[in-house]
């Protein structure tokens, strides 16, 4: 396989990895940082979050396996048979192989820690996931200058904030807003307020680090429409702006309305006619869809040659032998 089909397949594999990483990080972030300690209906939400984390971990195992085969296939320049034959070389002798083994170890550690169900183990699992995210940054374009460089570290911060925000959004929608309606209004407002604070910090980090990434990868403004990489990046930024606009609506218009209707429930006043909860659920679903497409654009960027300044080194397969 070669040409556009090969690029599409590699991007699909990368996209699955990104979505799975977001699911694990988002599930852990929501359980550890967003859920209040007590309140009606929290046990059901926690159970849904745990299921989300384990399902995402399973997907991550499959996607990481596919990533390894795909890189081996690119390196061997052949079919599946050639890829399998090249596995020992890719795993043992390439930079990608080192990062892949590190990622596999972190996934195994996170799975064991999540199994114990203790909060302290969950916090260690979340920290370990950041190491898994580093292996992503260290096996993409940002690592062309080396592992311990500003480009890789900024990309790591960018991806970590993106997974916490995007994954947190998915967890909020699926495990909180779509949970059985036993969750108390007060708990819902607490969770949403906490997420809103987290999302603001992550959005600031994502925009700053993303701008740095774009500056490093794109030589000059016209490359945004004259190169395939530039066009995909421009589309990504437009989608991000759409998601941020929905997030701002949630934070500044619907969250105050949600708090107001929770107070009505506590004071036993008649419910507000504006269904803030329903509207917020829809906006969050819209943000989740946009983020999933943003991950698609990101996965595609990883497969396209960036229009960099001068002749900055770029290894399309990221599988140079060490
Ligand atoms: C101002 C907005 C943003 C800009 C300008 C931006 C730009 C970039 C650029 C140029 C890269 C490097 C891609 C490559 O060549 O491999 C990147 C990586 C990445 N972006 Fe963004 N981004 C933005 C927002 C987001 C958002 C909102 C998300 C998801 C929620 C996201 C997720 C990621 C991830 C996960 C990576 C790392 C991919 C990897 O290392 O393989 N970005 N971004």
301 ligand 1 Cβ < 6 A:
yes
297 ligand 1 Cβ < 6 A:
no
Q: Best substitution site from 71, 210, 295, 303 to test ligand 1's pocket, by max atoms within 8 Å of Cβ?
A: 210
% of the chain with per-residue pLDDT over 70: 91
**Does 95 or 277 have the greater pLDDT score?**
95
Asked if pLDDT for residue 215 goes beyond 50, the answer is: yes
> What does the domain layout of the chain look like in residue ranges?
4-301
Q: Are 266 and 40 within 8 A, CB to CB?
A: no
Q: Are 119 and 80 within 8 A, CB to CB?
A: no
**Mean pLDDT score, 203-213:** 98
Alpha-carbon dihedral 219, 220, 226, 229, rounded to 10 degrees: 40
pLDDT at 1: 65
207 ligand 1 Cβ < 6 A:
yes
pLDDT per residue as tens digits for the range 297-320: 999 999 999 998 765 545 544 555
pLDDT at 294: 98
Asked if pLDDT for residue 102 goes beyond 80, the answer is: yes
Give 114 Cα–ligand 1 centroid separation in angstroms. 28
172 ligand 1 Cβ < 6 A:
no
135 ligand 1 Cβ < 6 A:
no
The closest residue, in CA terms, to atom 10 on ligand 1 is 214
Q: Are 95 and 320 within 8 A, CB to CB?
A: yes
**Does 298 or 273 have the greater pLDDT score?**
298
300 ligand 1 Cβ < 6 A:
no
Burial state string for 74-92 with b = 16 or more CB within 10 A and e = fewer than 16: bbbeeeeeebeebbeebbe
pLDDT per residue as tens digits for the range 19-30: 999 999 999 999
Asked if pLDDT for residue 100 goes beyond 90, the answer is: yes
pLDDT per residue as tens digits for the range 242-257: 999 999 999 999 999 8
**Mean pLDDT score, 127-149:** 93
pLDDT at 116: 86
* CATH 1.20.1630 matches 4-301: yes
143 ligand 1 Cβ < 6 A:
no
99 ligand 1 Cβ < 6 A:
no
**Mean pLDDT score, 113-121:** 89
The closest residue, in CA terms, to atom 4 on ligand 1 is 210
Residue holding tokens 């603001």? 200
Give 158 Cα–ligand 1 centroid separation in angstroms. 7
Please give the mean pLDDT across all residues of the chain.
90
Asked if pLDDT for residue 75 goes beyond 70, the answer is: yes
Q: Are 173 and 34 within 8 A, CB to CB?
A: no
Q: Best substitution site from 163, 298, 303 to test ligand 1's pocket, by max atoms within 8 Å of Cβ?
A: 298
237 ligand 1 Cβ < 6 A:
yes
DSSP string, 281-319: HHHHHHHHHHHHHHHHHHHHHTTSPP--STT----TT--
211 ligand 1 Cβ < 6 A:
yes
Give 207 Cα–ligand 1 centroid separation in angstroms. 9
**Mean pLDDT score, 46-70:** 96
């Amino acid at each position: 396989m070669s040409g556009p089909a090969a690029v599409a397949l590699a991007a699909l594999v990368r996209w699955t990895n990104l979505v799975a990483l977001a699911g694990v990080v988002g599930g852990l972030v929501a359980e550890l940082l967003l859920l209040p300690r007590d309140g009606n209906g929290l046990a059901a939400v926690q159970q849904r979050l745990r299921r989300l984390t384990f399902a995402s971990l399973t997907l991550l195992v499959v996607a990481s396996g596919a990533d390894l085969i795909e890189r081996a296939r690119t390196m061997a320049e052949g079919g599946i048979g050639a890829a399998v034959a090249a596995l020992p070389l890719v795993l043992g002798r390439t930079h990608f192989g080192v990062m892949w083994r590190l990622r596999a170890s972190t996934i195994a550690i996170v799975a064991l820690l999540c199994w114990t169900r203790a909060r302290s183990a969950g916090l260690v699992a979340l920290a370990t996931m950041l190491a898994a995210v580093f292996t992503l940054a260290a096996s993409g374009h940002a690592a062309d200058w080396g592992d311990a460089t500003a480009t890789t570290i900024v990309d790591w911060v960018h991806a970590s904030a993106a997974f916490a925000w995007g994954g947190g959004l998915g967890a909020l929608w699926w495990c909180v807003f779509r949970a059985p309606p036993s969750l108390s209004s007060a708990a819902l407002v607490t969770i949403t307020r906490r997420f809103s604070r987290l999302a603001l910090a992550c959005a600031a980090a994502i925009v700053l680090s993303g701008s740095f990434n774009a500056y490093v990868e794109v030589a000059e403004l016209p490359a945004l429409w004259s190169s395939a990489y530039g066009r995909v990046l421009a589309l990504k930024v437009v989608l991000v702006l759409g998601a941020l606009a929905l997030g701002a609506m949630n934070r500044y218009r619907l969250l105050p309305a949600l708090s107001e209707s929770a107070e009505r429930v506590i004071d036993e006043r008649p419910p507000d006619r504006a269904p803030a909860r329903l509207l917020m659920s829809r906006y969050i679903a819209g943000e989740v869809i946009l983020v999933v497409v943003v991950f698609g654009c990101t996965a595609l960027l990883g497969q396209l040659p960036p229009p960099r300044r001068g002749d900055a080194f770029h290894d399309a397969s990221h599988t140079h032998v060490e």
